């Protein structure tokens, strides 16, 4: 699935391939898999976006926070990362890596190959965080406030997908946000809006397959006088025929036991 977030949340390969179950160990998987060369430098303070991409065994990142790196490494959301010390929580870094002898990655890849590639990069990123930032963490499961995505009483207002490729694009404007989705399954939609709501969203719509739709809303932090779209809660119900319900449910939380500024290159 292609998923882009022009406001700065760009994880091309991770988002383009698959979304994995949010269960990860506290130490790197397959620890022998590491980047051969890693260079880390403080970012330009004026940089306002976080950008990370990888290909052919190399990772390149600009303006990334430690929370962002942990999210990518463990395939979780920022509200699941707890305990980064003050000062380190706002520090941003530019990172480049190299893996010797890495082979070109076929394009396109089947689902199994894509999953293997993503896991390989995540394993190397976990190892880098442990080696260069001395990251130690553990995972706990807590009952937390969450949302359930369900079908509203009037029924869904979604169009069955008319194409085979997956595409999800969130465009952040000064007066609101817009989402364009093509062939998107409801669990993926629930996962995407969890970013906006800063809370886990589970799919309980029972709707199978992919759907095409557009969604326009005004985030809570937007105060533009020309903002005309409703809140995300209202937009989901009015425009898609779905509803977000408050629930309590189990969620994995990644507690930071230790983390430092990066060691020298």
Q: Are both 72 and 130 inside the same structural domain? A: yes
Domain count, the chain: 2
Helix (H, G, I), strand (E, B) or coil at 223: coil
Helix (H, G, I), strand (E, B) or coil at 69: helix
pLDDT per residue as tens digits for the range 16-44: 333 333 334 444 444 447 899 999 999 99
- The residues, ordered by sequence, that sit 6+ positions from 133 with a Cβ below 8 Å of its Cβ are 66, 259, 260, 261, 262, 263
Tokens matching residue 26: 């506290």
Last residue of a domain, one of 138, 173, 199: 138
Q: Are both 48 and 119 inside the same structural domain? A: yes
Note whether residue 256 is domain-resident.
no
Last residue of a domain, one of 111, 138, 165: 138
Q: What CA–CA distance (Å, rounded) separates 265 from 262?
A: 9
Task: Give the best-scoring range by mean pLDDT among 32-41, 97-106, 153-162.
Answer: 153-162
Task: Give the best-scoring range by mean pLDDT among 44-53, 106-115, 230-239.
Answer: 230-239
Q: Are both 126 and 47 inside the same structural domain? A: yes
Q: What CA–CA distance (Å, rounded) separates 231 from 236?
A: 9
- Average pLDDT of the chain is 84
Q: Are both 117 and 25 inside the same structural domain? A: yes
Last residue of a domain, one of 81, 116, 138: 138
Note whether residue 260 is domain-resident.
no
pLDDT range class, residue 162, cuts 50, 70, 90: confident
Tokens matching residue 156: 């869904």
Note whether residue 57 is domain-resident.
yes
Note whether residue 259 is domain-resident.
no
Q: Are both 193 and 116 inside the same structural domain? A: no
pLDDT per residue as tens digits for the range 53-66: 887 778 899 999 99
Of 106 and 157, more confident: 157
Please choose, from the candidates 162, 164, 169, the residue with its C-alpha nearest in 3D space to the C-alpha of residue 188: 169
Q: Which of 68-72, 107-111, 119-123, 219-223 has the lowest mean pLDDT?
A: 107-111
* CB contact burial 117-137 (16+ within 10 A = b; e otherwise): bbbbbbbbbbbbbbbbbebeb
Note whether residue 263 is domain-resident.
no
**Apex CA 181: angle with CA 49 and CA 118, to 5°?**
60
pLDDT at residue 109 above 80?
no
Note whether residue 257 is domain-resident.
no
Q: What CA–CA distance (Å, rounded) separates 24 from 47?
A: 31
Q: What CA–CA distance (Å, rounded) separates 144 from 10?
A: 27
Q: What is the pLDDT of residue 252?
A: 95
Q: Which of 7-21, 59-73, 170-184, 228-242 has the lowest mean pLDDT?
A: 7-21
How many H helices and E strands in the chain?
A: 5, 13
Query: In whole angstroms, what separates CA 33 from the centre of its chain?
Result: 23
Give the mean model confidence (pLDDT) for residues 183-203: 94
Q: Are both 132 and 151 inside the same structural domain? A: no
209: alpha, beta or left? (left if phi > 0; alpha if psi -120 to 50):
left
Tell me the residue range of the domain where 188 lies.
142-251
Q: Which of 25-29, 116-120, 136-140 has the lowest mean pLDDT?
A: 25-29
Q: Are both 6 and 132 inside the same structural domain? A: yes
Note whether residue 133 is domain-resident.
yes
**Contact criterion met (CB below 8 Å) for 135 and 240:** no
pLDDT range class, residue 47, cuts 50, 70, 90: confident
Q: Are both 10 and 133 inside the same structural domain? A: yes
């Amino acid at each position: 699935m292609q998923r882009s977030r022009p406001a700065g949340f760009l994880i091309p390969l991770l988002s383009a391939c698959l979304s994995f179950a949010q269960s990860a160990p506290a130490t790197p998987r397959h620890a022998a898999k590491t980047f051969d060369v890693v260079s880390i430098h403080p970012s330009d303070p004026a940089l306002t976006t976080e950008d990370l991409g990888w290909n052919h065994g190399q990772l390149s990142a600009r303006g990334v926070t430690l929370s962002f790196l942990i999210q990518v490494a463990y395939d979780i959301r920022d509200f699941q990362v707890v305990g980064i010390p003050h000062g380190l929580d706002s520090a941003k870094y530019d990172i480049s890596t190299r893996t010797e002898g890495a082979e070109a990655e076929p394009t396109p890849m089947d689902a199994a190959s894509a999953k293997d590639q993503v896991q390989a990069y995540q394993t190397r990123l976990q190892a880098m965080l442990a080696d260069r930032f001395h990251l130690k963490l553990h995972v706990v499961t807590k009952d937390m406030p969450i949302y359930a995505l369900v079908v509203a009483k009037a029924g869904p207002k979604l169009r069955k997908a008319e194409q085979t490729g997956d595409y999800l694009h969130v465009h952040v404007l000064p007066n609101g946000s817009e989402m364009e989705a093509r062939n998107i399954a409801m669990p993926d939609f629930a996962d995407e809006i969890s970013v906006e709501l800063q809370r886990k969203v589970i799919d309980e719509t029972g709707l199978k397959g992919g759907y095409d739709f557009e969604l326009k809303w005004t985030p809570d932090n937007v105060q533009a006088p020309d903002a005309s779209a409703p809140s995300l809660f209202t937009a989901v119900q009015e425009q898609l025929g779905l509803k977000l319900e408050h629930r309590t449910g189990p969620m994995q939380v990644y507690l930071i036991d230790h983390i430092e500024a990066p060691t020298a290159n």
